[in-house]
Amino acid sequence: MKKHEHLWIDGGWRVAGGGTDLPVTDSYTGEVFASYRCASTADVDTAVQAARAAFEGWSATPLEERIAAVRRVAAALRERSDAIARVISREVGMPGKLSARIQAGAPIAAWDLYADLAGQLEWETRIAHSLVQQVPVGVVACITPWNYPLHQVTGKVAPALLAGCTVVLKPSELAPSSAFLLAEAVQAAGLPAGVFNLVHGGGPDVGEALVTHPEVDMVSFTGSTRAGRRIAALAAQDIKRVALELGGKSAAVVLPGADLNLAVKATLASCFLNSGQTCSATTRLLVPREQAAQAAHLAGELAASWAMGDPADPATRLGPLVSAAQREKVRGMVDAAIAAGARRATGELALPPHGFFFPPTVLHEVTPQMAIAREEVFGPVLVVLAYDSVDEAVAIANGTDYGLAATVWAATPAAALPVARRLRAGQVDVNGAPFNPRAPFGGFKRSGLGRENGRFGIEEFLEPVSLQLPPAYFETP
């Protein structure tokens, strides 16, 4: 077992002052394979003070130099991509062939994409006799989840650095390894001391110390709605700026005339990606009532083909969940749904001999009032809901506390677009259109505040400043 006792603070590795080593468990073997020493409150203060001291110089650094620094981080991450993919597979359970592309390749590419977009952003515009500057918000606390560890870190740290902010990052204690590899990449890239800092520990102690620190100007958090509510309340005491990317209960609306087979197959792929541990997963399949039985049967048959096993095995499509606690939570929600009248469309599937596995599950005869149709499960569980009219389908799709993502399937994209425009979700896919990293990502209602990705992700860390000048200043001599 590898023991990590250091934090990256003020441009160097420092022994963590906390008294606890937090274990990291292999989600397939169930064995602890690493531990990371917790930060103390003093460590958090040192990290934030380092970020504050570095802010003036970093924010004044020419944009071209900040872009070059971010590109150097991307290059250093690329050298570590195999290690990143392997360790995230162990922590989270995503099959290795997907982890290499999704958990490592995509976020590493995003560092370069953000660098491209920063060079295209309008950093100063004129409005009548005003010059409007975009300036960095300041010191940013980034708190990230375990399900897509490097991806979520990238969506905060890269645009914040490009905006001219300095950062203190606290990754999830369940999957911290890629964040420490990022710190190695930052070291290799030669970023100035204090621009990026890494602390480690649990939310109630290290996370809250970071959120409530008076020198933190903004908190960017991705995680559960419950934790997001707590962070927003704490940050409000000092009127800190807050960005929250929280939970989801996304619907796939299949309209009459759509290709049902294609819609079901694609919805399952979204629902089961990363063993269902995806905030934007389409976990509700809405179909016309006359097609509900057919859709459930088809989904059940397809689900049975999602082979469970060792994430390192190329034949594995569905890996384990992140922990035993997460598995028990999913099991409890499914059992409660069946007790409330839902029925399984999937048969009994043999589980691997070890690992935190939950079998791919499809439930039908589900009503919109059931908890399984309203609450985030974070496991490989799809529910099929029947509707009698398009208006009812829209009402069901919009009828949860969340509004992160959705999908609409129709005979043509033109037929889907009017319904897509009615859905209260931050991103709506039409007929399986692919994810766009340049487009904004975020949600309505309890799915959070603010937007990540593309230029919107950089703008999240900027504040507009209006410089009013005498009109004669703009007159041509």
User: Annotated active-site positions, please?
Assistant: 245, 279
Structure tokens at 62: 């020419």
DSSP state letter for 373: G
* Sequence-ordered list of residues with C-beta below 8 angstroms from that of 151, at least 6 positions apart, any chain: 102, 103, 106, 107, 110
Answer for the pair 275, 380: CB distance below 8 angstroms, yes or no: yes
d(CA 117, CA 96): 30
Partners of 37 in the beta sheet?
Answer: 21
Contact 303, 346 (CB under 8 A): yes
Annotate 250-317 with DSSP letters as a single string: EEEEE-TTS-HHHHHHHHHHHHHGGGG--TT-EEEEEEEGGGHHHHHHHHHHHHTTS-B--TTSTT-S
**DSSP letter string, 101-154:** IIIIIHHHHHHHHHHHHHHHS--EEEETTEEEEEEE--EEEEE--SSSHHHHHH
Length in residues, the chain = 477
- Here the tokens at position 69 are 């620094």
Residue type, 106: A
Q: Give the C-alpha separation, 309 to 352, whole Å.
A: 6
Query: Residue 343 has what DSSP assignment?
Result: E
Instruction: Enumerate the H helices of 340-389 as residue ranges.
Output: none
Helices (H), 139-250: 149-163, 177-189, 208-211, 225-236
